[in-house]
């Protein structure tokens, strides 16, 4: 059963703690992405990676970090430097297909800071 | 900078009637435009995209979108709405950096 999995579905964090959100795909896609979704706003790009061992900052990278050591995995760490981390986090992946790639999304992780 | 606007927070339509969800864009180069749908507490599902060619793009679940370069618009349409179409719809644009810029979303409510 191919697809993108994100875990956990719900995550609670105390202020000052770092947390890591998991994103795994078995679609053999080269590119992976992290987005943040807040109520009433569209998705905003945090980080993206076009290839293993390489990644770029998106529009709202401050307070977040990523790694891309394996093609199928792209974990996101929300650090204590992120001032307002409560949000719905979505991971996506794509395969190069011309000038613009279709991204396929995981089911998301809802992070709540207590 | 590229941007996408969805001017309506919510669209209400009766089942069986045609629906339109509006999207306008602002980019400096060629726009590559997408529509996605999101059901509650779920990830986004791809509906359709415009890269080049025919201005009318057909996608999943009977949806289509019309690319209008002069009006910088990419409105999503469906001839006959279903109650099950009720969801949050996002327009997005990519100008070649291979990452998407999303609009704020439009909630579609289809009444029986």
pLDDT tens-digit series, residues A3-27: 999 999 999 999 889 999 999 999 9
Q: What is the mean pLDDT of residues B22-33?
A: 90
| Residue A31 touches chain B, beta carbons under 8 Å | yes
Quick one: tokens of A56? 């770029």
Quick one: tokens of A21? 């959100």
Distance CA A81, CA A15 (A): 10
**Average per-residue pLDDT in chain A?**
91
Question: Which positions in chain A touch B34 (Cβ < 8 Å)?
Answer: 102
* Angle CA A13–A75–A39, to nearest 5: 55
Cβ <8 Å between B104 and A58: no
Quick one: tokens of B23? 């999207």
Cβ <8 Å between B98 and A94: yes
Hey, which residues 61-80 in chain A have their CB within 8 Å of chain B? none
Contacts of B91 (CB under 8 A, 6+ apart): B4, B6, B21, B23, B25, B33, B34, B35, B74, B76, B102, B103
Q: Which residue has the tokens 């011309």?
A: A98
Predicted pLDDT at B86: 96
DSSP A1-42: ---EEEE-SEEEE-TT--EEEEEEE-S--SEEEEEEE-TTS-
Strand B106-111 and strand B10-14: the pairing is: parallel
Cβ–Cβ under 8 Å, residues A104 and A2? no
Phi-psi label, residue A61: left if phi above 0, alpha if psi -120 to 50, beta otherwise:
alpha
Q: Each residue's pLDDT tens digit in chain A (114 positions)?
A: 469 999 999 999 998 899 999 999 999 999 999 999 998 788 999 999 999 999 999 999 999 999 999 999 999 999 988 889 999 999 999 987 666 778 999 999 999 998
pLDDT tens-digit series, residues B36-80: 999 987 889 999 999 888 899 999 999 999 999 999 999 999 999
Predicted pLDDT at A39: 84
Of all residues in chain A, the one with the smallest CA distance to B52 is A99
Of all residues in chain B, the one with the smallest CA distance to A30 is B98
Question: Which positions in chain B touch A110 (Cβ < 8 Å)?
Answer: 41
Predicted pLDDT at A88: 94
Shortest distance between the Cα of B105 and any Cα of chain A, in A, equals 6
Shortest distance between the Cα of A49 and any Cα of chain B, in A, equals 10
| Residue B104 touches chain A, beta carbons under 8 Å | yes
Of all residues in chain A, the one with the smallest CA distance to B44 is A105
pLDDT at B1 over 90: no
Q: Which of B6, B98, B102 sits opposite A100 (nearest CB)?
A: B98
Distance CA B60, CA B91 (A): 15
């Amino acid at each position: 059963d191919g697809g993108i999995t994100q875990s956990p579905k719900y995550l609670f964090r105390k202020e000052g703690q770092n947390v890591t959100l998991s994103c795994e795909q078995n679609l053999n896609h080269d590119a992976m992405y992290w987005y943040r979704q807040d109520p009433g706003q569209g998705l905003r790009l945090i980080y993206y990676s076009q290839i293993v061992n390489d990644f770029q900052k998106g529009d709202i990278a401050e307070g977040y970090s990523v790694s891309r050591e394996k093609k199928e995995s792209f974990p996101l760490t929300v650090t204590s430097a992120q001032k307002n981390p409560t949000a719905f986090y979505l991971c996506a992946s794509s395969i190069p297909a011309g000038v613009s790639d279709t991204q396929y999304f995981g089911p998301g992780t809802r992070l709540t800071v207590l | 900078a590229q941007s996408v606007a969805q001017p309506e927070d919510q669209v209400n339509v009766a089942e069986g009637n045609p629906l339109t969800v509006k999207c306008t864009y602002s980019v400096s180069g060629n726009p590559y435009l997408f529509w996605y749908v999101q059901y509650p507490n779920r990830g986004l599902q791809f509906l359709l995209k415009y890269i080049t060619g025919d201005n009318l793009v057909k996608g999943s679940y009977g949806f289509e979108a019309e690319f209008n370069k002069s009006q910088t618009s990419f409105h999503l349409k469906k001839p006959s709405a279903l109650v099950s179409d009720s969801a949050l719809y996002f327009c997005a644009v990519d100008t070649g950096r291979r990452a998407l810029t999303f609009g704020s979303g439009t909630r579609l409510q289809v009444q029986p």
